[in-house]
Amino acid sequence: MMKNWGKLTVIFIMCTLLSACSFFGKKQIDSSIKAEAVQRIETLLVIFDATATLADNAFGQKKLDESKNVLTMLNHELKQLELTSGLRTVANTTQLIHGLSRHDTKKFQMAVNSVTTAKGKISMSAAINAAKYDLKAASGNIAVIIISDGISSNNYALKSAEILASDLGDRLCLYTIRVGNHPQGATYMSQLAQKASCGFPVAASKLNSKSAMKAFVHSIFFGGPKIGLLETDIKGADADGDGVPNSADQCNRTPDGAVVDSNGCWEINKILFDWDKADVQSIYTRKLMTAVKVFETNPYLRVELQGHTDNTGAAEYNQALSEMRAMNVQKILIQGGVSASQLSTKGFGFSRPSAPNDSKENRALNRRVEIVIH
């Protein structure tokens, strides 16, 4: 009998040890997963447009109801996060109806539900200006989500967003959720989202499932991918307002005031050079002077001037030549009045040809500086 008890004791101890190993192994795996997903946003402010146009129908329901449904789904996904949140409305006035305080799912939902009618026509700029003071004491990184149909658009709101982005700097990410199906609204909301250094526009219709909203929240708070979320679904929408619709636009972040080609790309996007030369040709010098005005219009515009060469000669020589070409373009822009803080340079030698180096004509296309918008 004692022998049997001894055997049972040994078996019990072995099982206990195995269970402990399994337990600690699982904890280590969970910790490593958690470490990979670091929350990058500490404060969230939602600006909720409840002006009169939100009383109209789109996709078989009032746009106000669509907005509230989206905010309800958003709130549900926020319940697992540690953050400070606030909800500001825009109607016949602008009002902070929740927070800013530690996020409380029930209180946030009560605030959403309290908006029952769409009324008034106050400009979105009033809410964005007020947000500047809402966020004055906010610490860490900040996300602002604007949900609107974008129809009551004006340049004042865009300017207000620029000022907010200037005040908060790289701490701010700006996201827009466009309700309804108006092309003008899609364009405006896309332009609004581009005023901060990070963030993106999305259509409410793309957030109508739990998985889509989960992906949206993960993208905001953890930097997850935004594939399938971007605002491209409205025919005729023009995200950067350059006159070329999204469907044909190959450069969808053209700055305000830039002259574009048929592909929607800034005409000054590519500057060509003579063989073995770094001097900027006079024809491009004149074009660069017109670009100076674009930088003045867009003080938060940041670009990288990327120099390239053809494949004639040694790699080391071409690397230096490509860098010199980029710096010479930078020098002209600075002399014209562009702030040095808006410009950076990089040389790639002949490592990134835009055309095969198999003819005189193609090699000429590779001797270039490209202006790449950050």
Q: Are residues 83 and 167 in the same domain?
A: yes
Q: Are residues 114 and 200 in the same domain?
A: yes
Same domain, 286 and 149: no
Maximum average pLDDT range among 39-53, 58-72, 222-236, 292-306? 39-53
Q: Give 331-347 pLDDT, tens digit per residue.
A: 999 999 999 989 999 99
* Residues 95-111 pLDDT 10s: 999 989 999 999 999 99
Between residues 181 and 370, the one the model is more confident about: 370
Lowest mean pLDDT across 61-75, 85-99, 295-309:
295-309
Q: How many domains does the chain have?
A: 2
Q: Are residues 206 and 349 in the same domain?
A: no
Q: What's the pLDDT at 360? A: 95
The residue from 205, 222, 239 where one domain ends is: 222
Examine the domain organization and report whether 164 and 51 are in the same domain: yes
**Would you place residue 228 in the very low, low, confident or very high pLDDT band (cuts 50, 70, 90)?**
low
Give the domain CATH number at 154.
Answer: 3.40.50.410
Q: Which residues fall within 8 angstroms of residue 290, CB to CB, at 6 or more apart?
A: 259, 268
pLDDT recorded at residue 298: 76
Tell whether 351 is covered by a domain: yes
Domain identity same for 218 and 273: no
CA 63/CA 53 separation, integer angstroms: 8
Q: Is 5 inside a domain boundary?
A: no
Residue 199: which domain range? 43-222
**DSSP per-residue codes, 111-151:** HHHT---------HHHHHHHHHHHTTT--S-EEEEEEE---
Q: What is the mean pLDDT of residues 248-256?
A: 75
- pLDDT tens sequence across 18-41: 444 433 333 332 333 333 468 999
Residue 249: inside a domain: no
Written in H, E and C, the secondary structure of 154-169 is CHHHHHHHHHHHHHHH
Residue 51 placed within a domain = yes
Least confident range from 162-176, 179-193, 239-253: namely: 239-253
Position 125 in a domain: yes
Find, among 263, 175, 208, the residue nearest to 59 by Cα: 208
Range ranked top by mean pLDDT from 31-35, 265-269, 351-355 = 351-355
- Final residue of a structural domain among 222, 246, 278: 222
Q: In terms of domains, do 66 and 213 share one? A: yes
Q: Under a CB-based contact definition with an 8 Å cutoff, are residues 193 and 157 in contact?
A: no
Do 188 and 62 reside in the same domain of the chain?
yes
pLDDT at 368: 97
Residue 238 backbone phi and psi in degrees, to 5: -130, 95
For residue 284, give the 3-state DSSP assignment.
Answer: helix
Please, is 123 exposed, middle or buried when counting C-beta atoms within 10 Å of its C-beta (0-12, 13-18, 19+)?
Answer: middle
Last-in-domain residue among 222, 256, 283: 222
Structural domain includes residue 23 = no
- Before 78, cis peptide (omega within 30)? no
Is 288 found in the same domain as 153? no
Sign of CA dihedral 246, 251, 257, 261: negative
Q: What's the pLDDT tens digit per position in 300-328?
A: 678 899 999 999 999 999 999 999 999 99
Q: What percent of the chain has pLDDT over 70?
A: 84
Same domain, 216 and 288: no
- For position 58, what pLDDT does the model report? 82
Report the percentage of the chain scoring pLDDT > 90: 59
**Residues 165-199: b if buried by 16+ CB within 10 A, e if exposed:** beebeebbbbbbbbbbbbebbbbbbbbbbbbbbbb
Confidence of residue 237 (pLDDT cuts 50, 70, 90): low
Instruction: List the single range of 55-64, 72-81, 318-327 with lowest mean pLDDT.
Output: 55-64
Query: Is residue 146 a part of any domain in this protein?
Result: yes
Same domain assignment for residues 203 and 272? no
CA–CA dist 52, 91 (Å, integer): 7
CA Rg, the chain, in Å? 27
In a domain, 236, yes or no: no
Amino acid identity at 187: T
Q: Which carries the bigger pLDDT value, residue 374 or residue 82?
A: 82
pLDDT > 90? residue 172? yes
CA 207 – CA 216 distance, rounded (Å): 8
Based on the fold, state whether residues 211 and 88 are members of the same structural domain.
yes
CATH of the domain at 294: 3.30.1330.60
User: Model-level pTM?
Assistant: 0.58
